[in-house]
Amino acid sequence: MDRHWLKSYPEGVPHDIHPEQFTSLNQLLEESFKTHADKPFSVCMDRWMSYRELDQLSAALGAWLQQLGLEPGARVAIMLPNVPQFAVAMVAVLRAGHTCVNVNPLYTARELEHQLKDSGATAIVILENFAATLTEVIKRTPLKHVVMASMGDLLGAAYGQWITFAVRHLAKMVPAYTFSLDGGLTVTPFTRATAEGKRHTLKPVQCTLDSIAFLQYTGGTTGLSKGAVLTHRNIVAAILQAEAWFTPALGRIGDVSRINNIAALPLYHIFALTLCLLSIRWGAHLTLIPNPRDVGKFIEVLKKRPFHMLPAVNTLFNALLQHPHFKTVDFSSLCISQAGGMAASEGTARQWLQATGSPMIEGWGMSETCAIGTNNPVNSQEFSGTIGLPLPGIGIAIKDDAGNNLEPGQGGEICIKGPQVMTGYYRQALETEKAFTTDGFMRTGDIGTMNEHGYIRIIDRKKDMIIVSGFNVFPNELENVISLCPGVVECAAIGIADERQGEAIKVFVVKNVPALTEDDISAYCKQHLTGYKRPKYIEFRDALPKTNVGKILRRALRDKA
């Protein structure tokens, strides 16, 4: 493959990475624990955890899991928000020789049941806030062991007890639940599991780079979610790729172990998960944000100490910008504002740069690619509107429906190959076969172009394309244009059935200028969009439906329309 994009790499970024320097992800983790034992790993609600504590707690919980007698590679679900228990549970599962199955804590009972049954998980670590949902389905799942965490478990004795009491009895965030222990089900408090595990020794396991580390389930916004099989090699490769790409922007920090990485995006999501593991690789620390939707409290946390990396989706950047206290934050230490998870809008990017002096650096990836597949150079000084270049060791091809490679500038499906790309979908051979081309590239479902310098621009998702009188219209383009209209906070475009045109365009708009009207937006669209791309219908909303990561759910809007 002609990797012509390498000529566009910033100075100091290697062309390839070498995951084979590690025997497994576990080796990478344990080397970091030894090297950085006395350094802070995370801070949550002003309570700190060191790398030594993460090492000891994860070893204890891992030893406890081994005492259960689960088979090697057994699937263990983790249903936790951004609290210290997440990293402890994740590392424990890996060190015990098992497979992590990350679960969205906001799943409905139907979604939870599907993922537990599909993955075959026999154990779960869950926050008690979500236990009521689990009780609805547990008898129809393979689960045999439940580890029950409380919010304050790792926040210190007195303060932790107070937090747990407040969550349970003042905020009333823990719905009543009861587990039936018929059939040998065990329910063990998180703190008891770690305490009992300390009486045992974590046994060495024979993990290799080809062992399965994670079953990372896709968002499921277009149907039932599928489990992407991510091996230790996949995860190590993704960590090394991110390290190679981000390091040039952090030169003024000097020692990368001093980096404060803001973890506001949910750690169960592949984007935040990869950056969490990168922090461990560096010996850096995470500032855990359990509830980024409380933007006021999020901003108060940002004000407490310098921070250097802020990964977010476009809607989170937008929410911060709209908050009245946003301007009280000191952004002088911010090195990287990393946008991903959904398309970044030019309007938000302009406002962010003006307010913070830090350009939004947009990247692209999927659960199936261990998060980042392409990224703009981190030394960029402005928003490019592209998703950047393939990261080290990654190949990208733009293909037509027949699988032929297209020339620069031609639009087709973005296909990807590399050491971080999943091996397939769990127990779904047909879906796996459909996902890959005959020459080994994974089909992403994203439509885009690549220019002669290797920069890739996404036109849209295949499934979201709107066809107006035979013309293809991509919602991303419309949303990017309309987001620049003064008074528009965010928007979403969908196609709805139309007798004359096949489909007509409808745009949902959230505004922050009460006087903004449909006529104002129509006039703006007339100025900036050709006729068939202009919305026929405009509807104002107070908010748009989103996933827990903050991605706008066009499907939900289509279903309601």
CA–CA separation, 42 and 544 (whole Å): 32
Query: Which tokens sit at 561?
Result: 């329309």
* 204: number of Cβ within 10 Å: 9
Asked whether residue 221 carries a pLDDT value surpassing 50, the answer given is: no
Query: Which tokens sit at 387?
Result: 């998703």
CA–CA separation, 261 and 334 (whole Å): 10
Tell the residue number behind the tokens 């300390």, with chain if given. 198
Average pLDDT on 335-347 reads: 87
Percent of the chain with pLDDT over 90: 81
What pTM, to 2 d.p., does this model score? 0.86
Which one is predicted more confidently, 346 or 321?
321
pLDDT, mean over the chain: 93
Tell me if residue 348 falls in helix, strand or coil. Answer: helix
CA–CA separation, 475 and 492 (whole Å): 7
| CB of 336 closer than 8 Å to CB of 308 | yes
Sign, CA torsion 306/310/316/321 = positive
Tell me if residue 121 falls in helix, strand or coil. Answer: coil
| Confidence band for 468, pLDDT divided at 50, 70 and 90 | confident
Q: Cα-flanking dihedrals φ and ψ of residue 495, to 5°?
A: -105, 140
| Confidence band for 547, pLDDT divided at 50, 70 and 90 | confident
Query: Which tokens sit at 421?
Result: 């790309």
b/e map of 307-318 (b: 16 or more CB within 10 Å)?
bbbbbbbbbbbb
CA–CA separation, 361 and 384 (whole Å): 8
| Confidence band for 312, pLDDT divided at 50, 70 and 90 | very high
- Helices 314-322 and 346-356: angle between axes, nearest 10 degrees: 50
253-289: per-residue pLDDT in tens? 989 999 999 999 999 999 999 999 999 999 999 999 9
Average pLDDT on 119-146 reads: 97
Q: Write down the pLDDT at residue 473.
A: 82
Tell me if residue 389 falls in helix, strand or coil. Answer: strand
Domain annotation for the chain: domains and CATH numbers: 4-9+229-461 (3.40.50.12780), 25-34+47-207 (3.40.50.980), 465-560 (3.30.300.30)
